[in-house]
Amino acid sequence: MTDENKSETEVESQDIQEKYDALLEELASKDEEIENLKKDLENERNETQEYISLSQRLQADFENFKKITDKRNKELVKFANENVIVEFLDVYEDLGRALETENDEDLRNGTELIYNKFSDLLEKEGVTEIPAKGEKFDLNKHEALMVQKSDEVENGYIIEELMKGYMYKDKVLKYSKVIVCKK
């Protein structure tokens, strides 16, 4: 081999060696990158598992909360009228005492007392009578059972209340049964 050929072969060999070294460096770099990606993936898996566990715990907590709330609501509904019933019991006992009297005047006074207590109790709970006689007929509060002609009452106004009506706060509990003037 000539020196020139030797030199070319050495140069080629050196180029190949440099390319080989560069590829080894790149390979090492890629291996390191793969290891970092594996670590990141493992961290992401762990974090995902933590989120799944947290989600399961939150779901279980929510289900428990829902059960407790349902139980409380049932208890509230079950005993919602307890205070009103206690007050009705006082009126009930007064009525019993009034019935035990032998004097008609005492019975009347006792009955008036009970009526007034009942009226106060209903008013305290938000129950009010619906005004009717002399009022303009309102479909939302009155139920017309009859219509009559009357010279003393204007058309569409209530002549007479046959049965009282009651409101509970803003809701009609019982419509007033009335006779309405129709000309």
Report domain extents, the chain. 127-183
Question: How confident is the model at residue 3, as a pLDDT?
Answer: 61
Question: How confident is the model at residue 183, as a pLDDT?
Answer: 79
Average pLDDT over residues 127-150: 92
Predicted confidence band of residue 5 (pLDDT cuts 50, 70, 90): low
Average pLDDT over residues 109-138: 88
Phi and psi based region of residue 165 (left: phi greater than 0; alpha: psi -120 to 50; beta: remaining): beta
* 170: pLDDT strictly greater than 70: yes
Question: How confident is the model at residue 122, as a pLDDT?
Answer: 85
Confidence (pTM): 0.54
* 67: pLDDT strictly greater than 60: yes
Interacting residues of 115 by C-beta distance below 8 A, sequence separation 6+: none
Give the right CATH number for 127-183 from 1.10.3720.10, 3.60.70.12, 2.30.22.10, 3.40.50.300.
Answer: 2.30.22.10
Half-sphere exposure of 41 (CA within 13 A, CB side): 6
* 1: pLDDT strictly greater than 60: no
Question: How confident is the model at residue 92, as a pLDDT?
Answer: 76
Indicate the average pLDDT of the chain. 87
